[in-house]
Amino acid sequence: MCGIVGYIGAKEKKNILLDGLKELEYRGYDSAGIAIIENGELKHFKAVGKLKNLRDKTKKYSSSGFGVAIGHTRWATHGKPTELNAHPHLGEYSFVVHNGIIENYQEIKNELEDVGVNFLSQTDTETIVHLFEKNNTNLNNPFHAFKKTISKLNGAYATLLITEAEPESIFFAKNGSPMLIGFNGDEIYFASSDTPIIGKATEVYYLEDGEYGYAKNGEVKLFDSIGIEKEIIKKPLATDKKMAQKDGFRFFMEKEIYEQSQVMNDCMIGRVLDNRIEFEELDSNLFRDINSIKICACGTSYHSALTGAYLLERLAKIPTQVEIASEFRYKEPLLQKDTLFITISQSGETADTLEALKMANRAGLKSLTICNVDNSSIVRESSSAILTRAGIEKGVASTKAFATQTMVLWMLTLYIAELKGNISKDRLDDELHAIRKIPKALIVTDRLHDKIHRLSKRYLHGHGFFFIGRDIFFPLALEGALKLKEISYLHAEGYPAGEMKHGPIALADSELFTIALMPKSLHYDKIKSNVEELSARDATILAISPEEFELADDFIKTKYSSHAMLEFFEMMVITQLLALEISIRLGNDVDMPRNLAKSVTVE
């Protein structure tokens, strides 16, 4: 969730760094910094808040002549968003920038402090630069010192280091966090994604995990994870920024579906601990004297709220009601002070949700928002906020925002459950065990995507879709139907499976498509009977389940069956891909569907 840019060459370096960081700013903007060495002299600047603050601070500075430069835009994981915690981090004579998490940083920090090293920040990153300098004191060879340093690091990282001990080089390493090298003649660029270097570099090399090396005199020396020097096979770099922002995907929505595994990691970092959930941003007093919860939201965010309500009541044992914000506003609701008022919004600007929140605030309720956009109106209006960390969502049809909202609600449930003493240690361990598996369950395989692509051609007509599910799979059915109707313009409804027999089953015939969410871990036999009833009336059934279902006309077999939430997230991806593939076949603009807007700031 942070961004890195690096450059070696003779051009003005400040602007290359700042322009590059601008492209990455959406990944994190609580602080930014740059460090440049030219003519053997180190200069650095840092500023808290958006990049504009760093631009203002460096207005009078400009670099000229050959030099090396690194920059970073930060989204805090360890330590608060302060200037001291902003990258690049300084040792005695070197600077480092880093994305990811150094899991064993505390151990390294303790060892360094024991030998008298003084740390200025609360970050994990600062350990890299001090460890490097300590190794360099012993080895008197910056490259060997760097190599030794990274061999000590556990966790995910992409890092760049510059040092006065070798002022013409940038040292780099990548493991688990993205990093690439751009080339243009003698000039060499580094970045955590390709948008900052488009239009500047002509060729690119995407580093693989475990690779490291250094750039110097227009050349890059690259080594693999076991230290063998590697040839760099460069690729031409795209020239169209818009295309590059889509990373080769046809639509932003598609890219965002694929990103879910990664953003889920971001959402969980620092919150899912070994044996509990932590929200640094929450004051535990927030839940004092709270006896119930009301959640208010619109659209997709409302569906995550419905899912959250099942979890909150089941696991945290706290009565929870969910309201559509546009309804809530005018129903003259009875609001009681022992109710925590939660709003959920991707954009943080939805007018109905914002107004509902203002009503709750006026009634003196404590409020919490789950939101993707820091400093948005809803975040500012709320007494507390949990950010979903999904990164900018460009597709109008929300995907990764829904995934992270649901994850935050699940984590929040466990947090409250523990705080109120309503969950056993064994149950909490089971839940945490399942949570850790979610990023993997969200990985889209070629096999799955191909299968859904092939299936989608059979679902381009008919007189409508019913997505059906029970329990938490009912809100997922609602969300699957909303996704499909938003971008395909086909009629789709989400329904509780057990409710079909109370009316909608009258619609059943072979032209009625039923997408049946049939998890193994929750009420399987019940949903199976409901689907059998539909099949008996000749409805066309697409079953999504880990268990083969002989009455299905089409079947997508899922992998997970050990925990309902694992099944939930796996099925969520399937419904998103189904909506995407049907809509692409129908020739629609998936990212900008007709009549819709990404942020609904009107009533």
> Which residues are designated catalytic?
2, 598
How far lies 274's CA from each of 160, 270, 315, 322, 475, in Å?
30, 10, 19, 31, 29
Query: Which is it for strands 219-223 and 229-230: parallel, antiparallel or unpaired?
Result: antiparallel
Contact segment (CB under 6 A) with ligand M6R among 162-170, 295-303, 359-367, 532-540 equals 295-303
Q: Quote the least distance from Cβ 373 to ligand M6R, whole Å.
A: 8
Q: Quote the least distance from Cβ 385 to ligand M6R, whole Å.
A: 14
Between 153 and 379, name the residue whose CB sits nearer to ligand M6R. Answer: 379
Taking CB under 6 A as the rule, does residue 307 contact ligand M6R?
A: no
CA–CA gap between residue 439 and residue 263 (Å, rounded): 8
Non-local CB neighbours of 401 within 8 Å, separated by 6+ positions: 300, 301, 346, 372, 388, 390, 393
- What is the x/- site pattern for ligand M6R, positions 564-593, by CB under 6 A? ------------------------------
Instruction: Copy the structure tokens of residue 241.
Output: 């920024």
Between 159 and 260, name the residue whose CB sits nearer to ligand M6R. Answer: 260
Between 350 and 535, name the residue whose CB sits nearer to ligand M6R. Answer: 350
Ranges within 311-370 binding ligand M6R (CB under 6 A): 345-347, 350, 353
CA–CA gap between residue 193 and residue 179 (Å, rounded): 6
Q: Quote the least distance from Cβ 329 to ligand M6R, whole Å.
A: 14
Taking CB under 6 A as the rule, does residue 159 contact ligand M6R?
A: no
Residue in 159, 175, 300, 545 binding ligand M6R, rule: CB under 6 A? 300
Report CA torsion sign: 125, 130, 134, 135.
positive
Q: Quote the least distance from Cβ 189 to ligand M6R, whole Å.
A: 35
Residue in 166, 486, 567, 581 binding ligand M6R, rule: CB under 6 A? 486
Q: Quote the least distance from Cβ 388 to ligand M6R, whole Å.
A: 10
Non-local CB neighbours of 417 within 8 Å, separated by 6+ positions: 315, 316, 317, 423, 428
Instruction: Copy the structure tokens of residue 489.
Output: 């313009």
Instruction: For the chain, give the number of residues.
Output: 603
Q: Quote the least distance from Cβ 259 to ligand M6R, whole Å.
A: 16
CA–CA gap between residue 266 and residue 255 (Å, rounded): 16
Q: What is the DSSP letter of 284?
A: G
Between 220 and 396, name the residue whose CB sits nearer to ligand M6R. Answer: 396
Between 373 and 556, name the residue whose CB sits nearer to ligand M6R. Answer: 373
Q: Let me know: does 299 contact 324? Beta carbons within 8 Å.
A: no
Number of residues near ligand M6R (by CB under 6 A): 16
Q: Let me know: does 316 contact 417? Beta carbons within 8 Å.
A: yes
Taking CB under 6 A as the rule, does residue 376 contact ligand M6R?
A: no
Q: Quote the least distance from Cβ 587 to ligand M6R, whole Å.
A: 20
Taking CB under 6 A as the rule, does residue 396 contact ligand M6R?
A: yes
Taking CB under 6 A as the rule, does residue 406 contact ligand M6R?
A: no
Torsion of CA 509, 514, 518, 524, to 10 degrees: -30
CA–CA gap between residue 159 and residue 129 (Å, rounded): 10
Nearest to 264 by CA among 532, 602, 569: 569
Residue in 16, 257, 298, 582 binding ligand M6R, rule: CB under 6 A? 298
Q: Quote the least distance from Cβ 156 to ligand M6R, whole Å.
A: 29
Residue in 397, 419, 423, 578 binding ligand M6R, rule: CB under 6 A? 397
Residue nearest to ligand M6R (CB): 299
Taking CB under 6 A as the rule, does residue 398 contact ligand M6R?
A: yes
Contact segment (CB under 6 A) with ligand M6R among 142-150, 164-172, 293-301, 427-435 equals 293-301
Taking CB under 6 A as the rule, does residue 299 contact ligand M6R?
A: yes
Task: Give the number of C-alpha atoms closer than 13 A to the C-alpha of residue 55, restricted to the C-beta side.
Answer: 11
Non-local CB neighbours of 233 within 8 Å, separated by 6+ positions: 205
Residue with tokens 């003005």: 12
Between 191 and 515, name the residue whose CB sits nearer to ligand M6R. Answer: 515
Helices marked H in 296-350: 299-311, 325-328
Task: Provide the binding-site residues for ligand M6R, judged by CB under 6 A.
Answer: 298-301, 345-347, 350, 353, 396-398, 486, 596, 599-600
